Chains A and B, each alone.
Chain A
Amino acid sequence: MIYKQIFQMVDMGIVILDKDFMVFRWNNWMENRTGLNSQEVEGKSLFQFYPDLKAPWFLRNCKAVFTFGNFAFFSQHLHGYCFPIKNTSFSFLEFPYMQQNCTLGPLRDKEGSIQYIYIMVQDVTEIAAYQRRLSFLANRDGLTGIFNRQYFNEQYTLEYQRHVRYGRDLSLIMMDLDYFKKINDQYGHLCGDSVLKTFTELIQERLRSIDLLARYGGEEFILLLPETGSCAATKLAGELRLLIREHTFTFKEISLKLTASFGVSSLGTSGDSREELIRKADAALYKAKKEGRDKVVLAEQ
């Protein structure tokens, strides 16, 4: 009696399935959130209502729970959700569906054999929305909105490890706006800020989704290019150089023609350390500046 009340009152979805994936129990929480009442669902196949769950990842884990009595975990981080339930909270634009942590586990009879499995559904939409917002704030540069140096360092470490594991190509482009200090001195910092914003927007538009642009210092930016060798990286740097050169930067009534310099370094078979690759890109950028600016220099491998 008490357990039945808890089953109905608890603030999480509980679904009980038999070995044929027929719904044995469907609690109040599931009724309220899905709009499907228990009489409608119980005794029928779960897949009649949620056909997307008839997928190998779900079936495999259910079979494992029935066979071994282990638990299976479908985290929001990896799966988003198991049951597509419309998100009615403030974050519905970010997450159209309720974000869920789901756990599967065994239910045994008196003899200890597993007759049913349960699925527990936890609504973690609010946490996921805050996490996304916090990670956005923690990882971005306040002025330009691109990634900050700390985030770059984390991602670069991961990409570098991937390179070591799988031997994939990896390149860096270090870039810097030429004579940026003069813009600040002559037209003021607001103009300088506007130039930096436009500069990053122009670069960002040209990149693939897997490339990562970050603000490395004042007017210095770094581009992480996974799966990219030195030829492709140098070609891209050349295109970016032209893009900046051909663009007219405007701020109020001011129009400016600007250039940028680029240093490229790549990990092929050179076996450079993580730090060495950055140092090489920086040295190549310095060389580009020294040789007259508005240039691309590829570091020696």
Chain B
Amino acid sequence: MAITSEKMLSPEEKDTLKELMNIAFGSASADLAEVINIYLKLSIPEIDITGAENLADYIIKAVDLNSLSTLVEQKFWGPLKGQGVLIFPRAEREDILSVLHPQEDPASSNEFPFHPGLEQGAFLEVGNILLGACVGKIAELMETYVTYSPPQVLYGCKNNLDFLSASLSKDCVAIILKTSFEFYKKSIQGFLIIITDQSSVDFLKEGVKTFLEAYE
């Protein structure tokens, strides 16, 4: 039987989770700027709940996914377990390289040791750092740690998205934490989606409760 979103998280819990994410992402973008010179603007996050089998369709609709899109996917596990996905609906090669090379012409940079994977390497690195920063900050606020699998780059098509729900059981419900982002002074924009499922619900609820209590 399908679990309704209200049964998973109450409206109040949803709002608190949103607030918690907002703080986590704000802190992540501040640290990214200060420590790694990546200047990122994140929008107010949204929370959605959908059936695992509808996940690919949900994402395609939510982010206007097309064949020109590039995705970076990374799994994380611990008390909070799931997948992080960065989606660049239409990222130009030069744009993604310029995120890592703010002051120079990326094409002439020898920063990456091997040239053939330059573009893929840049997506992987930006994805790994952004997802690590955002997931890491959520975990930090919930006073826990997570570990990560290596990220992978995918190109936008439905087949590539179906595997996202493969790690969720069929009748499972996916909790989607979504935000859009853009890099300051760059024409590059995208979406950051964190997908988790029932197995993390209790932990999320507990985290939200602790978070609320701290402010009461």
Q: A residues within 8 Å of B by Cβ?
A: 55-57, 60-61, 63-64, 67-73, 75, 77-80, 103, 105, 108, 112, 161, 164-166
Cβ distance A119 to chain B, nearest Cβ, rounded Å: 15
- For the residues of A in contact with B, the DSSP-based class is helix
B24-45, CB under 8 A of A: which get 1 and which 0?
0000100100011000000000
B64-94, CB under 8 A of A: which get 1 and which 0?
0001100000000000000000000010110
A-side contacts of B68, CB under 8 Å: 164-165
Cβ distance A98 to chain B, nearest Cβ, rounded Å: 14
Contact status B113-A73, CB under 8 Å: no
* B124, CB-defined interface residue at 8 Å: yes
Given A61-B129, A64-B132, A164-B67: 6 more A-B contacts, CB < 8 Å: A57-B125, A61-B128, A71-B132, A73-B151, A80-B114, A103-B150
B-side contacts of A103, CB under 8 Å: 150
Contact status A78-B145, CB under 8 Å: no
Contact status A60-B36, CB under 8 Å: yes
Can you offer 15 A-B residue contacts whose CB atoms are under 8 A?
Answer: A60-B36, A61-B125, A67-B35, A68-B137, A69-B145, A70-B135, A70-B136, A70-B148, A71-B150, A72-B128, A73-B150, A77-B117, A80-B113, A161-B155, A166-B93
Q: In the complex, what residue of chain B is closest to A74 when comparing beta carbons?
A: B113
Cross-chain pair count, CB within 8 angstroms: 88
Cβ distance B139 to chain A, nearest Cβ, rounded Å: 8
- The verdict on A64 contacting B124 (CB below 8 Å), with A71-B132, A77-B117, A164-B68 known, is no
Alpha-carbon distance A259/B79, docked complex (angstroms): 70
Alpha-carbon distance A105/B76, docked complex (angstroms): 13
* B160, CB-defined interface residue at 8 Å: no
Cβ distance A72 to chain B, nearest Cβ, rounded Å: 6
Cβ distance A109 to chain B, nearest Cβ, rounded Å: 13
Alpha-carbon distance A60/B111, docked complex (angstroms): 11
Q: In the complex, what residue of chain A is closest to B68 when comparing beta carbons?
A: A165
B-side contacts of A112, CB under 8 Å: 145
Q: In the complex, what residue of chain B is closest to A106 when comparing beta carbons?
A: B145
Alpha-carbon distance A161/B155, docked complex (angstroms): 10
Which among A56, A64, A69, A164 is the interface contact of B35 at CB below 8 angstroms? Answer: A64
Which among A70, A71, A78 is the interface contact of B117 at CB below 8 angstroms? Answer: A78
A-side contacts of B139, CB under 8 Å: 69
Alpha-carbon distance A103/B129, docked complex (angstroms): 14
Alpha-carbon distance A56/B100, docked complex (angstroms): 9
Contact status B113-A68, CB under 8 Å: no
Alpha-carbon distance A103/B92, docked complex (angstroms): 28
Alpha-carbon distance A61/B155, docked complex (angstroms): 24
Contact status A71-B137, CB under 8 Å: no
Which among A63, A69, A75 is the interface contact of B150 at CB below 8 angstroms? Answer: A75
* B140, CB-defined interface residue at 8 Å: yes
Q: In the complex, what residue of chain A is closest to B94 when comparing beta carbons?
A: A166
Alpha-carbon distance A57/B126, docked complex (angstroms): 11
Which among B101, B125, B140, B148 is the interface contact of A71 at CB below 8 angstroms? Answer: B148
Contact status A73-B128, CB under 8 Å: yes
Alpha-carbon distance A108/B140, docked complex (angstroms): 13
Q: In the complex, what residue of chain A is closest to B118 when comparing beta carbons?
A: A78
Alpha-carbon distance A296/B197, docked complex (angstroms): 60
Which among B124, B135, B145, B151 is the interface contact of A108 at CB below 8 angstroms? Answer: B145
Cβ distance B12 to chain A, nearest Cβ, rounded Å: 29
* B167, CB-defined interface residue at 8 Å: no
Alpha-carbon distance A128/B112, docked complex (angstroms): 19
Which among A64, A105, A166 is the interface contact of B129 at CB below 8 angstroms? Answer: A64
- The verdict on A64 contacting B151 (CB below 8 Å), with A56-B111, A78-B114 known, is no
Alpha-carbon distance A71/B28, docked complex (angstroms): 15
Q: In the complex, what residue of chain A is closest to B93 when comparing beta carbons?
A: A166
Q: In the complex, what residue of chain B is closest to A162 when comparing beta carbons?
A: B93
* B198, CB-defined interface residue at 8 Å: no
A-side contacts of B137, CB under 8 Å: 68
Contact status B150-A70, CB under 8 Å: no
Alpha-carbon distance A77/B151, docked complex (angstroms): 13
B129-160, CB under 8 A of A: which get 1 and which 0?
10111011101100001011011000100000
A-side contacts of B148, CB under 8 Å: 70-71
A-side contacts of B90, CB under 8 Å: 165
A-side contacts of B100, CB under 8 Å: 56-57, 60
B-side contacts of A79, CB under 8 Å: 112-114, 121
